[in-house]
Amino acid sequence: MLAASWSTLFEPGFFSSEPVRVALIVGAITAIVSGVVGVFTVIRGQSFAGHALSDIGTAGGSAAFLVGASTLYGFVAFNVVAAGVMELIGIRKPRGRDLATGIVLGASLGLAALFLYEGTISTSTTGATVNVLFGSIFTLPPGITTVMAVLGVTAVVLIGVLYRPLLLSSVSYELAAARGVPVRLVGAGYLLALALAVSMSAVTIGAILSTALLIGPAAIALRVASRTGVAIAIAAAVGVVACWAGTLIAYDSTVWAGGNGWPVSFCIVVVIFVFYIASGVVSRFRRNRRRATTTDQPLAVKPVEAA
Amino acid sequence: MFASFMINAWEAATIVAIVAGVVGFFTVLRGEAFAAHSLPNGAFAGAAGAFLIGANTIVGLGVFSLAGAGMIAGLGRRARSDVATALTIVLMLALGDLFLSRTSEYAPEIFALLFGEVLGVSTSKLGPTAVIAAVCIASVIALYRPLMLSSVTPEVAEARGINPRVMDLAFLVVVALVTTMAVPVVGSLLIFSLLIGPPAAARSFTSRPLVAMGLSVLFALVTVWVAIAVSYESNLPIGFFVGAISAFAYTVGRAWTAWQQSRGRKVAR
């Protein structure tokens, strides 16, 4: 009975398959790095920059593809430059900042169109567009794990070094500036970490999953946790679980979908969404309970509700 | 360049540019750049889905972009709008990935949906484009005052009984309509650039809304016309020129603002 349900849950070959093993490892590393960086992305309201970078790098990736260099290096180089440009434009109000991000994104996608078009003519690989757009966790190039580990570790270390000033300037820019935190420098360092993390994830698992793992788990964690450190841990854990569950569902789906399985990206995104909805229920339940307990207290010590 | 097979391209691009100039003005004013990117980009999933079940591409685009607009507005009630938008585009793209995996025939057309095929617009596509464009312009005119008020001074708008959530949804629906109109002819990348580049530049030169809107339409028209001409002559994709010209216009606008400010400071001193 147990064995039967075990083999229904994990279709045969799941654990012995090399692509699956690589996908599980790569997915976990990416999810952890994205979780750490993503919590700050959500706090700072820079989701658009996080998503845009996964598309912007496409221009660098396709340029590298055109000249025959490694896509990854093209991607990283272009993203770091783009992050620098976004920081140089340096608008702090979210509206203007999103606009500047959009302009950089539009120009980069224009370049990507140019490079992909040239690439299509010279080698006629229309699949390149799809690959660059979606990526695929099951078809990772060999030897990519070392490079991505370096990128991921650099991003996480950067966040670790900047942690306190970054947190302060993310929560209150004015307060941080008044306390003498070099807010521009911290912001630039954070964007660099974001560029590295997004490059790493976009190249390995594609633009969809890059954004999904950056924003989804972090948004979930910030709904249920109030301390940033706890939120980061939850975000990383949720990301890893979503990645693994999604990979498993995608692998198993080849059986019920008649050989043509569901894409991994779709499965992982659906798992993240289920978690997101669940986190909404959890946070609402907690808020209600907190409200119920606070009404029992005498009025004098009742905490002031934030407007 | 003005051969008979190019007439459709000029007409389609002109229609798209006028609508983008008008709607883009509000996109920039409301800071909805992320939504303006997400709806056109994610709506291609609808086109893939429509292809899968044998429906009309425009119907698929319309259904998906409207659903996306509803989802951004709905999720935005309980989360920050940038998070809501990110989750929406991710889900839409993932669905697109799923639809694409169900068929092997559609993949090459993605390039066209993303980067546009304005030089290959057929006459049959022009009709729907013109109709939806008219609807977009009419809705902006109908929404003009409440939309303007809620974009510039949300507090005053709310005091006057304008529900900001309703305005948010209404505007996203307009962007969804623009998406449905523009993606089949110019692609999602191009419409995104047109929705933010020319209006952002226009706003740098004037603070009067109607003048800015007029300038925005003018800039959008010049952008697409120049892009088509250069694209035709050089045989390079039009998306590249639209992206580059939009970024250039924005840079000039920013430089102009900076120059004005530094001049104003000198005068004040």
pLDDT of residue B200: 92
Residues 6+ apart with CB under 8 A from B28: A99, B196, B199, B200, B203
User: What does the pLDDT read at residue B102?
Assistant: 80
Chain-chain contact of B110 with A133 (C-beta, under 8 angstroms): yes
Q: State the angle between helix axes of A228-256 and A18-44 in degrees (0 to 180), rounded to the nearest 10.
A: 140
Q: What is the pLDDT of residues A182-228, one digit of tens each?
A: 888 888 889 999 999 988 888 777 778 888 999 999 999 998 888 88
Q: Are A220 and A236 in contact (CB under 8 A)?
A: no
Give residue A298's pLDDT band: very low, low, confident or very high (50, 70, 90). very low
In chain B, residues with a C-beta closer than 8 Å to the C-beta of A111 are 240, 243
Cβ–Cβ below 8 Å for B37 and A208: no
With CB atoms and an 8 Å threshold, state whether A219 touches B240.
no
**pLDDT tops 60 at residue A281:** yes
B204 touches chain A (CB under 8 A): no
Tokens found for residue A95: 């509206």
Separation CA A39–CA B7 (nearest Å): 50
Binary contact (B200, A103; C-beta < 8 A): yes
Integer distance in angstroms from the first to the last C-alpha of chain A?
A: 55
Give the pLDDT score at B58. 85
Give the residue-averaged pLDDT of B108-128.
Answer: 72
% residues pLDDT > 70 (chain B) = 91
Choose, out of B37, B151, B236, the residue to mutate when testing the contact with A (most A CBs < 10 Å).
B37
Q: Is the pLDDT of residue B110 over 70?
A: no
What mean pLDDT comes out for the span A85-108?
Answer: 82
Q: How far apart are CA A126 and CA B5, in angstroms?
A: 25
User: Pick the residue with more confidence: A213 or A148?
Assistant: A213
Query: Which among A95, A261, A263 is the nearest to B97, CB-wise?
Result: A263
Question: Residue B51 has what pLDDT?
Answer: 81
- Give the Cα-Cα-Cα angle A158, A161, A163 (nearest 5 degrees): 100
The reported pLDDT for the residue numbered A132 is 52
Per-residue pLDDT for A112 more than 70?
Answer: yes
Higher pLDDT, A10 or B186: B186
Stated pTM of the model: 0.86
Mean residue pLDDT across chain A: 79
- Helices and strands of chain B, counted as H and E runs: 12, 0
Binned at pLDDT 50, 70 and 90, residue B171 comes out as: very high
- Yes or no, beta carbons of A102 and B34 under 8 Å apart: yes
Rounded CA separation A73/B178 (Å)? 36
Task: Tell which phi-psi region holds residue B162, choosing left (phi > 0), alpha (psi between -120 and 50) or beta.
Answer: beta
Most confident listed range (A141-150, B136-145, B227-236): B136-145
pLDDT at B133 over 60: yes
Q: Does B239 touch chain A (CB under 8 A)?
A: yes
Are the beta carbons of B247 and A212 separated by less than 8 Å? no
Q: Are A99 and B196 in contact (CB under 8 A)?
A: yes
The residue-averaged pLDDT of B23-36 equals 91
CB atoms within 10 A of CB B31: 20
The answer to whether B111 contacts A98, with C-beta atoms less than 8 Å apart, is no
Does B255 reach chain A within 8 Å, measured CB to CB? no
In B206-237, which residue ranges form alpha helices assigned H by DSSP? Answer: 209-234
Judged against a pLDDT cut of 60, whether residue B107 lies above it is answered with no
ipTM of the complex: 0.88
